[in-house]
Amino acid sequence: QDDEGYQESQFEEYRNPYAAKVGDEDSLYYSGRDRSGRLLWSYPQTPMMDMLLQTAAPYYTPKNPRDLFDFLRDSYPLPGGLKSPYSEYDFIVVGSGSAGAAVASRLTEDRWASVLLLEAGRPEMLLTDIPSMAPYFQSTDYVWHYYMEKQPGVCLGMKDQRCFWPQGKAVGGGSVVNYMIYTRGRPQDWDRIAADGNYGWSYNDVLKYYIKSEKANLKKYGKNPYRGRDGEVSVESVNIRTKLVNAFLEGGRELGHPTVDYNAPDGFGFGYVQVTQQRGHRHSSARAYLHPHKRRHSLHILPESKVTKILIDPQTKTAYGVEYVRNGVKHTVRARKEVILSAGPIASPQMLMLSGIGPKDHLNSMGIPVIKDLPVGQTLYDHICFPGAIFTLNGTHSDTRLSFSEEQALEVKSIMQWFRTGDSALNSPGAVEAIGYIKTPVSDDPELVPDIELISIGGSIVSDGGRGGSRSVRKGMRLNEQVYDEAFGAIDNADTWSAFPMLLHPKSKGYIQLKDANPFSHPKLVGNYLTDPKDVATFIAAIRHIQELASTPAFQKYGARLYPARYLTCPDAEFNSDEYWECAVRTFTATLHHQIATCRMGPPTDPLAVVDPELRVYGVSRLRVVDSSVIPRTISAHNNAPAMMIGEKAADMIKATWGST
Ligand SMILES: Cc1cc2nc3c(=O)[nH]c(=O)nc-3n(C[C@H](O)[C@H](O)[C@H](O)COP(=O)(O)OP(=O)(O)OC[C@H]3O[C@@H](n4cnc5c(N)ncnc54)[C@H](O)[C@@H]3O)c2cc1C
């Protein structure tokens, strides 16, 4: 037992990141074990892995049970040959994800301050750079394997009827495993956040930081005044496209949706997807903000270091350091100025509660001494989508196929091309080709704000199936195979098009609580998906709009036909009735991993606020939360760019507090 009374076995997850919790036995194949037989690492078996394994084999010796792919992995040695970190820094940043990497990097610019950046996950590797591999990583230890609590009536077609909520666990966090879609949110989203009393967060305020962080390489739009050219994060269009994306944009225009830069302030319409890539390689927040500064003496980065507690003086209510575990050993490190919590929308509220900041009654019931009674974890919004509106196309043979094919992406020619120029099917972000914002007839928003984002795919969830197919997308979503096979088995790997509708402003609201006081336990995650009938009605309206799109000449020239999937979970619903679609959405209720508001930002008058508009935790000094958990209300965006923007903005606010010009 260690000082806190934790059993050795409670550190198991840390020492053996794969542990038994993966819960997806059929995707575990290549693995390494230590002498006692303990599993150290594991990767799903896929055609891509087969190929890489052959490449890596000469470097692997059975005496060395380390991860087979370590030789391809990035590393962050302490600068100046230091063997161990200092015992005190100006700032400690917990979590090096989209926001954490940005804030740590900016605070150490020009030697302004010293920062220790603690990250539970490992650095990136060659494979994480390959955009089309994104879905594979949801079955590896590059994510936290969180599951939503079982909720009757949703996620019915997922394994064990539970939705999987993976979160990035890497130097770079979510930006290492995500689909790289770059979105900023509509101006009204941010203006509403500011109007709620969050000074400094209007669209014009945040635009400054989007521009600062961006290095746009977008053919048509790159020079527009709202785009950045000198920032850290490379944003590109994807050069490899199917004809389906043109059909989507053309069909959109036929229905009155202009083709636009959807990140422009007036860009309400459809547009080619913009991605965080650099010459076709993933450009994570770690690549953008940390990798170029490895030798910076003021920035110490410690991967594989899990923070277990924020140290707060209970008398003065001042944060002064953290406890963390590295290689199974507990350490303490002190912060001279501030502790910055950037552990993401699930781990940040969990960490606050473990450290005594949270709802008083809940903390009491967990036996955690209360330092500050705050509504931590009591608000949670998420973006869910429906991947099952699938249209079959005319192309049956490889020469007439319109959609992406995994087989083609893995041809040697394509791989070599990706290494040379970055332009090959390997740089497709999970086959996402375009995005379209729509406002459905059921919306009651008085302003021109979309309620649905359509994500146009150069294929569908059936596209990586067939003989030898990786099935990585459906595995990543944890779809139940029986339900999937009954619904789509007959068109597995067929030529298809689909658009996922994503519900942008759900009315349904969830929450997070602790399950116990063990920092190695996962918290209780309650989604409360589709509990408001408006959310269901919006989905159905969106699916009807997708059907209209597929009926336009742009799609009809390819013979697009809605596939009549039969869901085991909906035996009595008449195909294509509203009842059918409601049941289908309740079957494949897939998250797009945008949980927010769990450490909600708000003015002192907001009873649900955890941090103030400068991201300082109410009632505790020298402690801020800087990540996507502070976003107080739903935004029309995927959260990677917003989280990096939050990191950028927080750095300026912190510098202003501590007297930098
Ligand atoms: C599979 C997937 C696909 C996605 N696709 C997209 C997309 O295409 N576009 C988009 O914009 N967004 C996407 N997102 C969402 C986006 O990536 C996240 O919203 C964003 O990365 C969140 O940033 P963050 O800084 O709040 O947290 P994170 O990036 O999650 O960073 C938190 C970091 O803290 C670390 N951490 C947690 N606990 C501890 C601890 N106790 N000690 C030390 N370190 C800790 C974590 O390991 C992690 O690295 C996706 C997310 C996922 C999971």
Active site residue 594: yes
Secondary structure (H, E, C), 257-300: CCECCCCCCCCCCEEECEECEECCEECCHHHHHHHHHCCCCCEE
Q: How far apart are CA 223 and CA 244, in angstroms?
A: 27
- Relative to the CA of 144, which ligand 1 atom is closest? 47
Encoded tokens for 449? 């704000």
Query: Does ipTM come in above 0.95?
Result: yes
Instruction: Return the pLDDT at 421.
Output: 84
Q: Please answer whether residues 300 and 115 qualify as being in contact, where contact means their C-beta atoms are separated by less than 8 angstroms.
A: yes
Residue 122: strand pairing partners: 170
Instruction: Give the tokens for residue 575.
Output: 């195909």
State how far the Cα of 568 lies from the Cα of 623, in Å rounded to an integer: 50
Burial (CB < 10 A; 0-12, 13-18, 19+), residue 25, is exposed
pLDDT of the residue at 47: 62
Burial class (CB in 10 A: 0-12, 13-18, 19+), 31: middle
- Indicate which residue's Cα is closest to atom 13 of ligand 1: 178
Task: Report the chain's terminal Cα–Cα distance, integer Å.
Answer: 48
Residues of the chain with pLDDT under 70: 1-71, 395-399, 660-661
Ligand 1 atom with minimal separation from the 169 CA: 47
Query: What are the phi and psi torsion angles at 243 (to 5°)?
Result: -70, -15
Structure tokens belonging to residue 3: 């000082």
Instruction: Determine whether 593 is an active site residue.
Output: no
d(CA 417, CA 241): 15
What residues does ligand 1 touch, defined as CB less than 6 Å away?
94-100, 118-121, 138, 166-170, 173-175, 177-181, 183, 306-307, 342-345, 347, 351, 593-594, 627-628, 638-641, 643
pTM of the model: 0.92
For the chain, the structural domain boundaries read: 1-72
| CA nearest ligand 1 atom 20, residue | 640
Residue (of 357, 453, 376, 475) closest to 49 by Cα position:
475
Q: How far apart are CA 104 and CA 107, in angstroms?
A: 5
Q: Are 350 and 305 within 8 A, CB to CB? A: no
Rounded Cα distance, 337 and 354, in Å:
21
Give dist(CA 580, CA 586) in Å, integer: 10
Cα 143 to Cα 27, 48, 191, 506, distances in angstroms = 14, 19, 33, 25
Residue type, 602: G
Q: Tell whether 143 is in a known binding site.
A: no
What pLDDT score was predicted for residue 419?
A: 82
Smallest Cα–Cα separation from 473: which of 181, 169, 164? 164
Q: Which residue from 138, 167, 457, 518 has its CB within 8 A of the most atoms of ligand 1, so it is best to mutate?
A: 167
The whole-angstrom separation of Cα 423 and Cα 555 is: 26
Q: Please state the atom number of ligand 1 nearest to the C-alpha of residue 429.
A: 8
- What's the DSSP call for residue 427? G
Closest residue to atom 21 of ligand 1, CA basis: 174
Residues in the chain, overall count: 661
E strand or H helix at 353, and its extent?
helix 344-354
Q: What share of the chain is helix, strand, coil (3-state, %, to 5)?
A: 30, 20, 45
> C-alpha angle 128/133/138, rounded to 5°?
85
Q: What is the spatial distance between Cα 189 and Cα 489, in angstroms, rounded to a whole number?
A: 40
- Cα gap 520→517, rounded to integer Å: 9
Which residue's CA is the closest to the ligand 1 atom numbered 31?
97
